[in-house]
């Protein structure tokens, strides 16, 4: 299981009304360069080339649930599947979640996961990013 890695700026952005996790356009993007916790914006990362089924900026996951129960907030995202068509996607190793809606700061980062090794999807192959449907992507208590 790939570990959740937090971008440090996320917690401040969350507290200072940058994110509306229930309605903003969250996106999952791919990069082959290791992010670091002090990265703050999408522009701090190097995205893989668009094409063959990968759209620049990545894919917006559906928000399954953004709600609290007994004081604990949970963000649940549906799985995201990238499928290469007509050519390959990648190589990439890191999967990054960010918020595509805010203009200031522009496209703030939320978290990233490390696949563990560089991966190239050949035409017809897919990568499914399996978000935890029970515990959600993140919780706030």
Partner 1 sequence: MAKTTPLPSDDELRARLAELQGQRAVKAGKVQALRDERDALLADPIFARERELARAIRQAVADEGLVELDAEIGKIARALGSYRMTAESA
Q: Alpha helix locations (H) across 41-83?
A: none
Q: How far is the CB of 17 from partner 1 (least distance, A)?
A: 10
Decide whether 41 or 60 has the Cβ nearer to partner 1. Answer: 60
Q: How far apart are CA 13 and CA 108, in angstroms?
A: 8
Q: How far is the CB of 21 from partner 1 (least distance, A)?
A: 10
94 and 41 Cβ atoms separated by less than 8 Å: no
**What would the two tokens of residue 67 be?**
């709600």
Q: How far is the CB of 72 from partner 1 (least distance, A)?
A: 12
Decide whether 50 or 139 has the Cβ nearer to partner 1. Answer: 139
Q: How far is the CB of 51 from partner 1 (least distance, A)?
A: 19
97 and 105 Cβ atoms separated by less than 8 Å: no
Could you count the other beta carbons within 10 Å of the beta carbon of residue 90? 22
Contacts of 4 (CB under 8 A, 6+ apart): 111, 113, 137, 138
- Residues of this chain that interact with partner 1 (CB under 8 A) are 1-4, 6, 20, 22-23, 61-64, 66, 78-81, 83, 95, 111, 113, 115, 119, 121, 125-132, 135-139
Decide whether 62 or 68 has the Cβ nearer to partner 1. Answer: 62
């Amino acid at each position: 299981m790939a570990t959740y890695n937090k971008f440090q700026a996320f917690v401040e952005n969350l507290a200072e009304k940058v994110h509306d996790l229930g309605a903003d356009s969250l996106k999952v993007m791919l990069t082959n360069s290791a992010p670091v916790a002090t990265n703050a914006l999408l522009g701090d990362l190097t995205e893989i080339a668009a094409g063959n089924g990968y759209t620049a900026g990545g894919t917006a996951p559906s928000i399954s649930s953004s709600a609290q129960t007994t004081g604990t907030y949970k963000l649940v995202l549906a799985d995201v599947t990238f499928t290469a068509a007509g050519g390959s996607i990648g190589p990439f190793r890191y999967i990054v979640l960010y918020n595509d809606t805010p203009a200031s700061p522009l496209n703030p980062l939320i978290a990233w996961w490390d696949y563990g090794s560089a991966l190239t999807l050949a035409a017809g192959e897919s990568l499914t990013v399996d978000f935890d449907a029970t515990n959600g992507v993140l919780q706030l208590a």
